[in-house]
């Protein structure tokens, strides 16, 4: 009986953890540094493919997987002369996905490490993240 009960508990834990993992990946923003692109998927379906700018020479954009830690409709970088960062989604310390007016630089490395998007696209990602909840969103950055 104890083995049966332990099996039921283990099976339930696997189901719950699987459900939690799938919820956590409901919205995924995948950044490919080598291609300077972001692919946004919701519930496994590709919604958008956008050009981005990541870290230029002398700076770095971290690679890995994160959930947003905080979000701001408008943020100003204290580190870089109060530069505006509209629709910021912070995911790792001071690193964020955010809008930029420097759209001519999209598609090539140009930032201090953040992921820059056209401001309209940053707004869309910000709204999608609010919609599903930051805990259900993942930022994935690869080379």
How far is residue 62's CA from residue 5's CA, in Å, rounded to a whole number? 44
Q: What is the pLDDT of residues 62-98, one digit of tens each?
A: 999 999 999 999 999 988 888 999 999 999 999 999 9
Structure confidence at residue 11 (pLDDT):
47
Give the per-residue pLDDT at 22: 53
143 residues of the chain, pLDDT tens digit each: 445 444 444 444 444 444 444 555 799 999 999 999 999 999 999 999 999 999 999 999 999 999 999 999 999 998 888 899 999 999 999 999 999 999 999 999 999 999 999 999 999 999 999 999 999 999 999 99
């Amino acid at each position: 009986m104890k083995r049966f009960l332990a099996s039921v508990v283990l099976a339930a834990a696997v189901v719950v953890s699987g459900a939690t993992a799938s919820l956590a990946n409901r919205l995924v923003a995948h950044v490919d540094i080598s291609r300077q692109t972001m692919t946004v998927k919701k519930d496994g379906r590709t919604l958008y493919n956008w050009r981005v700018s990541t870290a230029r020479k002398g700076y770095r954009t971290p690679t890995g997987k994160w959930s947003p830690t905080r979000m701001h409709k408008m943020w100003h970088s204290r580190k870089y002369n109060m530069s505006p960062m509209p629709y910021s989604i912070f995911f790792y310390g001071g690193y964020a996905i955010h809008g930029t007016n420097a759209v001519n630089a999209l598609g090539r490395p140009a930032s201090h490490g953040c992921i820059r998007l056209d401001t309209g696209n940053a707004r869309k990602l910000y709204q999608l993240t609010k919609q599903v909840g930051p805990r259900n969103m993942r930022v994935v950055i690869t080379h």
